[in-house]
Structure 1
Amino acid sequence: MKRIEESILFFEDIDLDLEDGVPRVVRDFQKGEFMEIVNSPDCEEIFADVLSASLDEPLDELLEKGAQQFLDKSGSDHKEAVRVLCVGAAALCAWLQRAQCGPAPAAEGEEGGAVRWLGGRGREAAARAALERAAGGDAAPGARLPHPPLLLLAAAALRPCAAHPLLQTGRWWCARALWAWQRALREPSPALHARLAALLEDGPPGPLRGEAWLWLEAAGAHLCFGHLRPARAALDAAARAAGLAGLALVGALGKRTRFQQKDLAQLTLKVEVDDSSPQTPLLISDSLPKDLRLDDDVRLEKVQFTGDGAPTLPPLSPVQQAVVLNTFILVQRSQPHDELAHEELLPYLQVVLSEPQLWSVQAAALVLRSRLESKQRRTAERAMSQLEEVVNALKGPMPGVRARLRGLLATPLPLLADVQCDLAHALVQLGCVQSALDIFLHLRQWEAAVTCYTLLDLRHQAAELLKRELAVQETVPLLCLLGDATDDISQYERAWELSGQRSARAQRHWAMHHFRRKEYEESIPHLELSLQCNSLQPELWRRLGYAALDTENWQLCAKAYRRCVELDPENMEGWNNLAKAYVKTGQKARAWHALQEALKADFENWRLWDNVAAVSADVGAFDEVVRAYHRLLDLQSGRHVDIPVLQTLVRAITSEVKDSEGQNASRMRPQALALFGRITSQVTTDPEVWQLYAELTASLPEQTPQTLERTAQYLQRAHRAAAQKQGWARDRNTCQKTLSLSSHLADAYLTCCRVQPEPQRLLSSARLSLKSVLAAVRQQVEVAAELSSDVEELQVKLDAVESAIEVLRAQ
């Protein structure tokens, strides 16, 4: 029976005549006759206790109890356990056929998809209510969930199978049902997440030949909740099991447009395959969704690479293509949505679409490419036509349902209603707003419909539409949308009360009402309440962090951004803002570690490196200060200047303080001198940089004549840069700094002249510099009076220089 379980799990065709006592439901499952199984006597027998139960009892609990009792009665009979598993799997597949992959069952009327032994449509309202109760209020499925009894039956029948000791694949089928359930919901459900996480914790059942497919399903489930770290781990395991050694974006010369004369660098995906790994058998489907040509008068269908410039793409099996497709989703979730991201993502889809094999992989890749292209002017029309083609393929009769189900749950193919929404959004991009509105109204997607009415300058009709629907039934989503359409806060209050003060959505809309108006202080309580109701809202954590940052609520800011980076460890902005919150709360060591994580997400951001340099200086990580500053010079063409950071570095070295590792900071003197040499090769007119360079040089243990001369030269460069600044003598602070610098210059020359062969030349240069400074200061009577002591001190230094010159002349 284990072989039969595996064939059910992967929708494989096996010769059932070779197996003894195969249950009839298994044979029907292999034929794809899922509704026949659901409405068969075998299924009725399993849930016999449910048929006589009171309708007042929760339907999901009754169904689960019926399945559990049947399994308990069957004891150690593996065949009877497989029978229950097959019924649950058939209910799930029947739901997937109607909600996601098709084909639309032939000759199904209003009663189509009904579980007849549950009382037909009389039980649909109960099933929808049970799904809503089990998933949580805001996660209610609404109109996008067709045939709720099928999904409820699948989840209830498969839950006891998960813990059955004889069923190797029961746990995974239960996870599949929960994930399908989550994908049909409006919001992430914490209740479903907790159950699903527990089922996925131990990884796929095994060992199985199709293990890679199961790892991909796990990755997709984690991505569904926005948890990127476990998703990446599952995806890495899938790649290893599928024999993919590596995926990397590389550049190659080629042409993108028809009229391009010169080859330019183009991004492409390099795929490395591990030939030693076992390969999943090839599963080539018939009647694949058609990939439409671009047919643009400028842009080529695909990049034409020059000669051997592009890496050769090895033949990929369907499971390897699915790994590439899920990697696309992971990369897309990990980076901002901009033009550069579009260029980095498209090569993943081009690899998958270059060799169509499996129906589910091909359909998913076409939808994802259309989503990218709908935002581009030259590809928007192809995107719209492609989505229309995919919708027709999903509804079309060929291929059969089993061919479509192979690999389906391991791909990011959206539900049919979502693909239709994508088509409507593509129509909006092309200006066909009325056509898009018709689709949204048919799908009962009220939020998108309100947006269309707004674009058509018919906002009053949006309010009327929502009020008509509310007259039929008051719901939290409709009240929230009415509040958005009318800017009426009382609608959010009504939605909050209607939900029994449990709706994350009501508080979210309420918060965003204030947030969009930059009323951040008012938005914070509502953001917090929404997240208390449902913590699986990554975007809302980010908004809470921003609102707290703007209002300088640093403790709350740190809490929010900590949650952001837990959900998305590659969120550079989150790590950076978390570091700022830590700095403001005096936790500079934690800020430094947060910035190190931010660098992993964005190594090319100069502002981030600037923060790293500043915080590293504060915590005494002086080796990191030097590294960060060199990186800043790389990114800023060598012209970056941050005086406070450089001052901290120089003071630490000259004062021989202990660094963060307990070592003497003076060990960094050679690296710091090299850094200043690099800075001053590009920045030649900043007096403070030259003065710090001089201080660092003067701190060398061995003061040779060459060292003393370099110190004097650097101070001379600093003095010249300061004296050349227009109006320096009129500003008290600048004037005081220049007087102090001149005093240091005089001391340096008096010291240097003792060991130099031409001391009179050096002293004459010093005298000229000091006289010009004193003359400029004395012209500003008020400033000179305020700085009289500094002026007198410099005059004393000038007298000393002149005396030294007189002594040299007398020799």
Structure 2
Amino acid sequence: MGRPTAPPPSLKPEEWRLLACTLPDGYDEAAPSGDDLVELVVEGRYAAALTQAVSLGVLPPAEGCASLREWSTAARSHIKQLYGDMSKNGLLLLTSGVAALMSFCQASLTGPASSESPALTATLPSLVDWDPPANNEEPWSGDRDPWVLREAQVDGEDLVCGRIDALDMLVLASMLLWEPLADAEPPAALPSWAWWAARVLGVHQRALGARSMTLRGGLVRLTDAVLTQFHPDADAAPDTRLAAVAASSARLEAALCDFAYGRDETARAHLDAAGAALGFKFRLTGRLAKKTMYQQDAATVLVVETEAVDASAAGRGRTIADLGAGEGVAAAAAAADLTRATHGLTGETEVFQLPHLLSTAGAVLGNAGLGAAEQAVLLGWSVNVKLGQAEEDMNLAQMGAFVEAVMAQPRSEFMVRAMAELQMCRKEAARSRTMERGLLEMEALVMRVRQSSGVSPRVRALGALSASAPLLPMLMKEWALVQMRFGMVGQAMEVFERQEMWEQLCACYVMLEKKHAAEAIVRKRLETAPEDPRMLTVLGDLTQDPACWEKAWEASGGRYVRAQRRLAERAHRLGDWEASAAHWELALKTNALHPEGWFSLGHCHIKLKSYDRAIEAFTRCGQLAPEHGEAFNNLAALLLERNRPKEAYTALSEAGRLLERNWQVQENLARAAIRSEHWLPAANALCKVTALTHGERCEVELLSSLVRHLRDLNHQIAADAAAGDTSPDAVGRARLKTHLAAAVGTVVRAVVQSSAASPDVWACAAVYWEAVGELKSAKECHLKRVRGLQGRAWKKETGAFEAFAEASIAMCEGQLAAAAADRAVAKRELSAARMHLQSVLKQAEGVFGEHAMFGEMQAVLERVLAAEEELQTA
């Protein structure tokens, strides 16, 4: 290990020590602070640290308080008073808040369950004397208190499950670290405060089932302060390894938060900066490898290859054996005492977990040069691939490359390694040849994280907040869902019931056609807590009784947004658009970070013909969910109706990128592009329409607009040439004409060979071939257009006659042009034009002799006769 590193001048040694105990590779780098409370936190003795903090007066006594809610009011006032004198109390408040946060992380993120209860009932012994809620059959503790649950449900959003251990510690951490900053700036004397407060909000978001607008707003403000302090210049290399790890972790945690809120582009920028802070560069490349035991010929696999890495990263972290991992499936299963449900399954398979490279020169696989911080960056990129790729095969291949690079390292940190193993389990459980091994490995991982497994809380904390780790309840849920894929529904239901995931449990009962059993469980829970909004909503989901959802909304004091969403969805199904819109507006007023809510609200306003409000709703949906192609498509359609083609084109460009296989979206994109005069994108979009429909679909109006513009470009280019214009505009027109002609030609060729080749299509094709100088092809298209319009209808109906006359005139004009261009074929072309016009005029004279188109055909015939006469006299 390296020597202890002095903190940056702006940070106190105690702050640096607290940060270092949560950074990858960080614990052994920071020198001891000399503060007893700080050292208790660093050593992972969070309950002892909180007890000592209480004795130092960071929290008020509970005597005289009738409930936890009443005590919290006194506690907030007391904390605010302490915050007023930061020079004296700042470090005490910060350390106490860190202890509370890490207590929650130990209980619900990193494990293992602590024998020393970190709950408020242990920290404040007088709380034990309070009476538990009536009719409660379970042992009561602070993390089960209704006030704690209400405080944790920010913006009315539900928790990921009913049972999250040490939830009161998360609320306490928020009271100590975040709430003082709600209306104040982070203290300048303690620069790391903002980072810890941001971590509280980030972990709190993981505990919620949906995005919270309040938490998002706080994270945006705090992240800016953190990055300014810990990563002021992405181009300046930090002077020590620990400073580099801190800068990288700040960026990495910001990226994970942005991923959680759907800001993928910003998150990717943070990931780039996180690697740059470490001097870490890599690339994805192909290598020859064997993936199975009996594979004869090597195949190309995707691997991560390092281009630059900090030499001081080598040898850091703990060995895989020290972390309790790497024993193989059988040993891990035996150590974890797996359930009897997996008896008979085997992890033995001919597929290697990591590909065996034929040459490892320069590749990360088998390279021991990556520290835990670099590994965490690679895991961050695997999250990016998982969220950003649409194609499943490419998703698994790219994600697997990052994960395999981490799994190949002989040293790591506990949570970094655990997240790499989780990603590997997901990959293997998704493939038939390795799914049994994936299930066994996931089960072993769950047990190792939940139980002590010989790894102390201090070691588990290293890198835990920089890894994309789900809370333990969500890890348990994922494990249960994998069990269900194997038909182990009973075992999955046990997990759901233990974690109080009532929705999933009831879904299992309904799947087993035991809806009455699901309803009985919910009603039994309601006997204990009749005003529980969550259980009332679940009962409403089972019975489809809107009264349950209305009661849940009232019981929560108008905060439980799931109840309003259910009411809105029911009204939407019934076609009651006005009621649905009203319910959605109530829900979105409580928490606006719900893209599907805005999308549904926009649909309601379309039905109610409130188009401006629909535009606003779809705009908000697109802002919150940039991957929501349908929202951009609907928004663009409304903008086109409002005659705002430029904005519609912008929206449809996003929709076309996201819904590339949807020909309707591509056709709308072409229409908006033409109306906003983006000609080449319009032609490319129309190419995609013909490719997706195999030429069977082509909007003639769009194709006609493109070929007319191509013809106009020809005239402009000819005028530029005549005037000797070589300006950038003239050069740009010539370049546009080349690309546009190629794209439109692709459309024309596809359409004329399909059943969609109508006379109007042949007319467009003729104009196109004339524009590119292919007069012979144009003449054939004119002829096919005329033949397509021939019949008895044009002799009687005015519209049919006008179309036939226009086609005849166009064909004869083409023949006149061909005769003028080539005297060798002039006689034949003029003769054909003359005979055609004379025949048409003779048949139309009785009905349409006075029609204007009749006169135009006579004029063309006169020109043809004059050309023939000129040809004979020449």
TM-score (norm 1): 0.83
3-state SS of 1:144 partner: coil
Cross-structure match for 1:282 = 316
Q: Percent identity?
A: 24
**Which position in structure 2 is the counterpart of 1:8?**
18
Give 1:618 deviation, angstroms. Answer: 0.5
Does residue 475 of structure 1 match 2:547?
no
Check whether the contact 2:838–2:861 (CA below 8 A) recurs between aligned residues.
yes
Provide the rounded CA distance (Å) in 1 between the counterparts of 2:783 and 2:357: 55
1:457 aligns with 2:516: no
Structure 2 residue identity aligned to 1:44: S
* Letter matched to residue 476 of structure 1: P
The reply on whether 1:329 has 2:395 as its aligned counterpart is no
Contact map agreement 2:120 2:127 (CA 8 A) in 1: no
Cα distance 1:373–1:807, how it changes in 2: closer, same or farther (>3 A)?
same
The aligned counterpart of 1:100 is 109
Say yes or no: does 1:721 pair with 2:784: yes
Pairing 1:400–2:456 present: yes
Q: Give 1:337 shift.
A: 8.1
Partners of 2:62 and 2:126 within 8 A in 1 = yes
For residues 252 and 773 of structure 1, the distance between their equivalents in structure 2, rounded to whole angstroms, comes to 71
For residues 649 and 15 of structure 1, what CA distance do their matches in structure 2 show? 66
Given the alignment, which residue of 686, 691, 695 partners 2:763?
691
CA change 1:574–1:358 in 2 (3 A) is farther
Distance 1:131 1:678 in 2: 61
Structure 1 residues 63 and 372: alpha-carbon distance in aligned structure 2, compared to 1, 3 A threshold:
farther
CA apart distance, 1:409: 0.7
Contact (CA 8 Å) 1:39, 1:117: kept in 2 or not?
no
AA in 1 matched with 2:74: L
In 2, the alpha carbon distance for the partners of 1:39 and 1:180 equals 23
Q: Contact 1:151/1:181 (CA < 8 Å) preserved in 2? A: yes
- Where 2:281 maps in the other structure, the secondary structure is strand
Give the deviation of 1:153 after TM superposition. 2.9
| Residue in 2 that maps onto 1:33 | 45
Superposed, which structure 2 residues align to 1:376-775 within 5 Å?
376-397=431-452, 398-473=454-529, 474-515=531-572, 523-545=580-602, 554-598=611-655, 609-626=666-683, 641-652=698-709, 669=737, 671-677=739-745, 679-680=747-748, 684=752, 686=757, 688=760, 691-692=763-764, 694-695=766-767, 710-711=774-775, 713-722=776-785, 725=788, 736-754=802-820, 756-758=822-824, 759-767=826-834
The residue identity in structure 1 corresponding to 2:215 is: L
Alignment correspondent of 1:703? none
Residue 230 of structure 2 aligns with which residue? Answer: 206
- Would you say 1:85 and 2:94 are equivalent positions? yes
Displacement of 1:592 in angstroms is 1.6
Tell me the amino acid that sits aligned with residue 147 of structure 1.
Answer: A
- In the alignment, what sits opposite 2:133? none
- The reply to whether residue 197 of structure 1 matches residue 253 of structure 2 is no
The whole-number CA distance in structure 2 between the counterparts of 1:197 and 1:29 is: 27
CA distance in 2, matches of 1:483, 1:441: 19
Matches within 5 A, 1:302-313: 302-303=354-355
**Structure 1, 669-678 or 536-545: larger mean CA deviation:** 669-678
In the alignment, does 2:164 pair up with 1:145? Answer: yes
Cα distance in structure 1, aligned partners of 2:32 and 2:294: 62
Q: Which residue of structure 1 lines up, in the alignment, with residue 275 of structure 2?
A: 239
Q: 1:389 to 1:544 in 2, by over 3 A?
A: farther
Query: Which among 55, 64, 71 is matched to residue 44 of structure 1?
Result: 55
**Structure 1 contact 650–696 (Cα < 8 Å) conserved:** yes
* Compared CA separation, residues 333 and 671, structure 1 to 2 (3 A): closer
> Structure 1 residues 750, 111: closer, same or farther in 2, change over 3 A?
closer
Q: Secondary structure at the match of 2:225?
A: coil
Measured after TM superposition, the shift of residue 422 of structure 1 is 1.3
Partner of 2:722: none
1:156 corresponds to:
175
Q: 1:213 to 1:33 in 2, by over 3 A?
A: same
Supply the distance in 2 between the matched residues of 1:669 and 1:16 (Cα, whole angstroms): 65
Q: Is the 8 A contact 2:157 2:208 kept in 1?
A: yes
Q: 2:668 & 2:461 partners in 1: Cα distance? A: 50
Give the direction of change, closer, same or farther, for the CA distance of 1:585–1:143 in structure 2 (3 Å limit).
same
Residues in 1 aligned to 2:621 and 2:35: alpha-carbon distance in whole angstroms: 49
Deviation of 1:617 after TM superposition, in Å, equals 1.0
- Conserved? CA contact 2:119–2:168, under 8 Å: no
- 2:36 corresponds in structure 1 to 24
- Report if the CA contact (8 A) 1:428-1:436 is conserved: yes
Deviation of the 1:673 alpha carbon: 4.4
- Contiguous gaps of at least 5 residues in structure 1: 701-706
Contact 2:779 2:814 in 1 (8 A): no
| CA distance in structure 2 between the aligned counterparts of 1:522 and 1:264, rounded to whole angstroms | 59
Residues 62-73 of structure 1: matches in 2 within 5 Å?
Answer: 62-70=74-82, 72=84
- What is the distance in 1 between the residues matched to 2:691 and 2:55? 72
Cα displacement (A) at 1:292: 4.0
Does structure 2 retain, via aligned residues, the 8 Å contact 1:243–1:279? no
TM-superposed CA distance for 1:539, in Å, is 3.5
Q: How far apart are the structure 1 equivalents of 2:761 and 2:480?
A: 59
56-65 or 560-569: which moved more? Answer: 56-65
Q: Look up the equivalent residue of 2:780 and give its one-letter code.
A: R
Label 1:186 to 1:632 Cα distance change in 2 as closer, same or farther (>3 A): closer
State the shift of 1:90 in Å: 1.8
Give the C-alpha shift of residue 468 in structure 1: 1.5
Could you tell me which residue of structure 2 aligns to residue 319 of structure 1? 373
Runs of 5+ unmatched residues, structure 2 = 1-10, 131-140, 232-242, 331-345, 718-727
| In 1, Cα distance between equivalents of 2:457 and 2:209 | 26
Q: Mean alpha-carbon deviation: is it higher for 190-199 or for 581-590?
A: 190-199
- Checking the alignment, whether the CA contact within 8 Å between 2:103 and 2:166 is kept in structure 1 is no
Q: How far apart, in 2, do the equivalents of 1:798 and 1:769 lie?
A: 9
For residue 568 of structure 1, report the CA deviation from its aligned partner.
3.4
C-alpha separation in 2, matches of 1:18 and 1:391: 33
CA offsets 1:481-516 (integer angstroms, 9 cap, x no match): 111211222222222222333331111122233556
CA RMSD for the aligned pairs?
4.4
Q: Is the 8 A contact 2:143 2:165 kept in 1?
A: no
* Structure 1 position 179 matched with structure 2 position 210: no
CA contact (8 A) 1:570 1:600 kept: no
Query: Do the aligned partners of residues 280 and 83 (structure 1) sit closer, same or farther apart at CA in structure 2, a change above 3 Å counting?
Result: farther
Asked if the contact 2:385/2:395 (under 8 Å) is kept, the reply is no
Separation (CA, whole Å) in 2 of partners of 1:786 and 1:441: 87
Q: Say if 1:295 and 1:739 are closer, same or farther in 2 by CA, change over 3 A.
A: farther
Range 382-391 or range 330-339, more displaced: 330-339
Match of residue 129 from structure 1: 147
Instruction: Please identify, of 88-97 and 203-212, the stretch whose mean Cα deviation from structure 2 is larger.
Output: 203-212
Tell me the distance in 2 between the aligned counterparts of 1:658 and 1:511.
Answer: 56
**Change over 3 Å in CA distance of 1:802–1:430 after alignment to 2:** same
1:469, distance to aligned residue in structure 2 (A): 1.3
Mean alpha-carbon deviation: is it higher for 420-429 or for 612-621? 612-621
The 8 Å contact of residues 59 and 75 in structure 2, kept in 1 or not, is answered as no
- Flag the 1:405–1:797 CA change in 2: closer, same or farther, 3 A: same
Distance in 2 (CA, whole Å) between partners of 1:166 and 1:807 is 99
Confirm or deny: 8 A CA contact 2:834 2:861 kept in the other structure: yes
CA-to-partner distance for each residue in 1:371-409, whole Å, 9 max, x for gaps?
455454444433322221112101222211111110001
- 2:136 is matched with none
Distance (Å, rounded) in 1 between the aligned partners of 2:55 and 2:170: 17
| Separation in 2, partners of 1:169, 1:809 | 97
Maintained 8 Å contact 1:144/1:184: no
The worse-fitting range, judged by mean Cα deviation, of 541-550 and 758-767 is: 541-550
Question: How far off is 1:471 after superposition?
Answer: 2.0
Amino acid at match of 2:449: L
TM-score, reference length from structure 2:
0.78
